């Protein structure tokens, strides 16, 4: 297993198999690949099945234990089942993040290919709001969620980006997941780093307070010390990476772009290492290099964060460049409070 200079072992790889997408969500960071392309856009540069297989084989040699496919929208690729099938032969723990719109007809095939779990991105269950935010229809997405549950791609995690236009919908979303034991909800803090739109950010203290007050039980996960809020037996988790050095301290993931570049951090676009055309020996060297160069974004790369930096970062000499100034604090939002009273 390879460990970076900050003591973080790399155990997980997230592979973008395309930058094409059939939605265009207002907040999309597109994994740092630049704006998503339309589904019919030329896609000759995308990783082939064989290229994915080779990258995954090397990742396995270095101790990577799980692979998540993402995009763009990974299901715009007709050969995703084949990609999954070849990947699970190397690393069995394979999951997928999808907007869900194309999932209903393919959930069984993906499960048969070896896919273990799926994250489906849904920011609200209200059709009009869904369309405004994602520029797509919600009905096929809900069909996709039901199909994933039916074929056993569980737990089906629903990803909800928490930002100005969704925060009031949290109670309704919690009600939705609490009705099904196979569902979990991940409330993902809007990340402004790659898309700017600072005005989208909301103060998560209101969200935390609402969850504390309404959950039946609150557990604390060892990793990240993240809280898990139980509503009945359904887990709701708040993922809050922004300006959070503890989140980065626990990041065990590298990324691979749709063009096969290795990437050490979602928030950076200056750390890409191309791998196409490399010999096996040079490909292994590229893996070593991307891991050697990894720096925790908050606490290592951005240090003026006004939050305490984990001790081991200080010991490692949090001396990487201050890339950008402090961003303005998230705008407070009373929307959730108002909804919670209803
Ligand atoms: C870029 S998408 C790619 C996979 C797929 N198209 C989807 O929507 O699930 C991966 C995840 O990132 C989330 N996401 C996109 N932009 C974000 C942002 N600015 N802040 C937080 N999460 C974001 C999406 O909601 C989704 O759950
Ligand atoms: S569906 Fe996913 S990739 Fe497509 S625009 Fe939305 S967040 Fe981005």
| Residue 14 to residue 23: CA distance in whole angstroms | 20
- Mean pLDDT confidence for 202-206: 94
Does ligand 1 lie within 6 Å of residue 97's CB atom? yes
- Residue with CA at minimum distance from ligand 1 atom 14: 28
Which of ligand 1's atoms lies nearest the C-alpha of 200?
Answer: 19
Mean pLDDT taken over the chain: 89
Q: How far, in Å, is the centroid of ligand 1 from the Cα of 130?
A: 14
pLDDT tens-digit map of 254-275: 999 999 999 999 999 888 999 9
**Taking each helix axis from N to C terminus, what angle separates 49-61 and 80-88, rounded to the nearest 10 degrees?**
30
Q: Using alpha carbons, select from 203, 287, 301, 325 the residue that is nearest to residue 249.
A: 301
Going by their DSSP bridges, the two strands 117-121 and 234-239 should be labelled as: unpaired
**Taking each helix axis from N to C terminus, what angle separates 204-214 and 170-178, rounded to the nearest 10 degrees?**
40
Does ligand 1 lie within 6 Å of residue 235's CB atom? no
List Cα–Cα distances, 238 to 140, 186, 190, 206, in angstroms.
Answer: 26, 6, 11, 12
Q: How far, in Å, is the centroid of ligand 2 from the Cα of 119?
A: 13
- Mean pLDDT confidence for 215-219: 94
Q: Are 147 and 119 in contact (CB under 8 A)?
A: no
Checking if the pLDDT of 336 tops 60, the result is no
pLDDT tens-digit map of 40-97: 998 999 999 999 999 999 999 999 999 999 999 999 999 999 999 999 999 999 999 9
Q: How far, in Å, is the centroid of ligand 2 from the Cα of 192?
A: 15
Which pLDDT does position 329 carry in this prediction? 27
Which of ligand 2's atoms lies nearest the C-alpha of 72?
Answer: 3
Name the band, by pLDDT with cuts 50, 70 and 90, for residue 321: very low
Q: How far, in Å, is the centroid of ligand 1 from the Cα of 281?
A: 34
Number of residues that this document lists for the chain: 342
- Residue with CA at minimum distance from ligand 2 atom 3: 72
Name the band, by pLDDT with cuts 50, 70 and 90, for residue 324: very low
Structural domain boundaries of the chain?
12-292
Domain 12-292: which CATH number of 3.20.20.70, 3.30.470.20, 2.60.120.10, 3.40.50.720: 3.20.20.70
Does ligand 2 lie within 6 Å of residue 21's CB atom? yes
Does ligand 2 lie within 6 Å of residue 72's CB atom? yes
Neighbours of 187 (CB within 10 A): 24
Neighbours of 311 (CB within 10 A): 9
Which pLDDT does position 341 carry in this prediction? 26
Does ligand 1 lie within 6 Å of residue 124's CB atom? no
Name the band, by pLDDT with cuts 50, 70 and 90, for residue 337: very low
Checking if the pLDDT of 313 tops 70, the result is no
pLDDT tens-digit map of 99-132: 999 999 999 999 999 999 999 999 999 999 999 9
pLDDT tens-digit map of 11-22: 999 999 999 999
Does ligand 2 lie within 6 Å of residue 28's CB atom? yes
């Amino acid at each position: 297993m390879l460990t970076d200079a900050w003591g973080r072992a790399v155990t997980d790889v997230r592979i973008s198999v395309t930058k094409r997408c059939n939605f265009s969500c207002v907040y999309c960071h597109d994994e740092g690949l630049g704006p998503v392309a339309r589904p019919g856009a030329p896609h000759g540069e995308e990783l082939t099945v064989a290229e994915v297989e080779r990258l995954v084989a090397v990742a396995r040699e270095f101790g990577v234990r799980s692979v998540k496919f993402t995009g763009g929208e990974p299901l715009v690729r007709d050969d995703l089942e084949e990609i999954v099938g070849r990947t699970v032969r190397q690393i069995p723990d394979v999951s997928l993040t999808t907007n869900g719109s194309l999932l209903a007809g393919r959930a069984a095939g993906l499960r048969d290919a070896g896919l273990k779990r799926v994250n489906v991105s849904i920011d609200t269950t209200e059709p009009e709001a869904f369309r405004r935010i994602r520029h797509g229809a919600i009905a096929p997405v809900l069909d996709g969620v039901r199909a994933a549950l039916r074929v056993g791609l569980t737990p089906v995690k629903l990803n909800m980006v928490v930002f100005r236009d969704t925060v009031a919908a949290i109670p309704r979303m919690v009600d939705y997941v609490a009705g099904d034991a196979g569902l979990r909800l991940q409330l993902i803090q809007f990340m402004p780093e790659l898309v700017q739109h600072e005005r989208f950010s909301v103060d998560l203290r209101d969200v935390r307070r609402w969850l504390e007050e309404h959950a039946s039980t609150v557990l604390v996960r060892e990793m990240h010390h993240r809280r898990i809020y139980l509503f009945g037996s359904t887990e709701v988790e708040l993922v809050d990476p922004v300006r959070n050095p503890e989140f980065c301290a626990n990041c065990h993931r590298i990324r691979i772009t749709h063009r096969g570049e290795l990437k050490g951090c979602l928030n950076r676009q200056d750390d890409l290492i191309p791998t196409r055309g490399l010999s096996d020996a040079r490909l292994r060297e590229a893996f070593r290099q991307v891991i050697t160069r990894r720096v925790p974004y908050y606490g290592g790369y951005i240090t003026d964060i006004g939050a305490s930096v984990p001790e081991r970062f200080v010991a490692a000499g949090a001396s990487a460049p201050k890339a950008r100034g402090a961003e303005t604090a998230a705008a407070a939002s009373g929307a959730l409070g108002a909804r919670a009273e209803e």
